[in-house]
Amino acid sequence: MYKKKIKHLVSVITPSYNSAMFIKQTIESVIKQTHQKWEMIIIDDCSTDASVNIIRDYIQKDSRIRLITLEENSGPAIARNKGIKVAKGKYLTFIDSDDIWNEYFLEKSIKFINIKECDFIFASYERVDENLKSILKPFIVPKKVNYHDVLKTCSISCLTAFMDMHNIGKFYMENVGHEDYTLWLKILKKIDCAYGIQEPLAKYRISNNSLSRNKIQSALWQWQIYRKIEKLSLIKSIYYFVQYAYYGFKKYNS
């Protein structure tokens, strides 16, 4: 099934919606990677600003960048799934249209995943505002997590998740809030664990109206995943939800 995948090619998936303000910086951070064997698949979710024109300008300069345009606004899960479906790389990773990688991100991720002889890794990252000014301490990930760890608190960011698609196959996100979290849970049901790189290798933008900062909505999504996606019992859901709330407070207050 995966014989056609090119060794060490990394498929980079980027959903985009009205991202004209930041997407140049995101694309440039991919172009500047020290590991140059990549394809960047950008899925535009019916943007009404200049995003598509900016992306097309880059496509004319670099054939490794591809654009998929959705016919109707569908949300980040559907957009990323479209990218996953057409990805050709041995490795799969994601970067959102307002985030930035350190220039060594791909190189160090490939080296680390091979040193660990594993299929799923993730890295630490800096937390910055829209002007790339640090607003919280860098989020330093644990050295290792399994399925039960991630049920308690998700230390895996879509920004630095990196997996060997050749070995584990293709998994897709559920079309719910915290869609990336549902993907990590699916993968961690299949493999024993994921390993973390404790060096920050990316910059994650946190805006005042960021979805990830809407704590009430986020909590409702988390509960829905426990009950409807993972189908946990009420008692287990309460147990993990309490853990989620505790670690979530620590994450954004440190």
Sign, CA torsion 155/161/167/168: positive
Tokens 């300069």 identify what position? 61
Question: Which of 67 and 211 is assigned the larger pLDDT?
Answer: 67
Residues 168 and 189: their CA atoms lie apart, in Å, by: 11
Please tell me the chain's helix, strand, coil percentages from 3-state DSSP, rounded to the nearest 5. Answer: 40, 25, 35
DSSP conformation class of 194? E
CA 42 to chain centre: 13
Least confident segment among 86-95, 98-107, 187-196, 245-254: 245-254
The whole-number pLDDT of residue 214 equals 75
> How many alpha carbons fall within 13 Å on the CB side of residue 19?
25
Q: Give the pLDDT band of residue 253 (cuts 50, 70, 90).
A: low
pLDDT surpasses 50 at 2: no
Q: Give the pLDDT band of residue 246 (cuts 50, 70, 90).
A: confident
The whole-number pLDDT of residue 208 equals 67
The percent of residues in the chain predicted with pLDDT above 90, rounded, is 88
Type of residue at 63: S
Taking the model in full, what pTM does it have?
0.92
User: What backbone torsions phi and psi does residue 87 show, to the nearest 5 degrees?
Assistant: -65, 140
**Domain annotation for the chain: domains and CATH numbers:** 6-209 (3.90.550.10)
Mean pLDDT of 40-63: 97
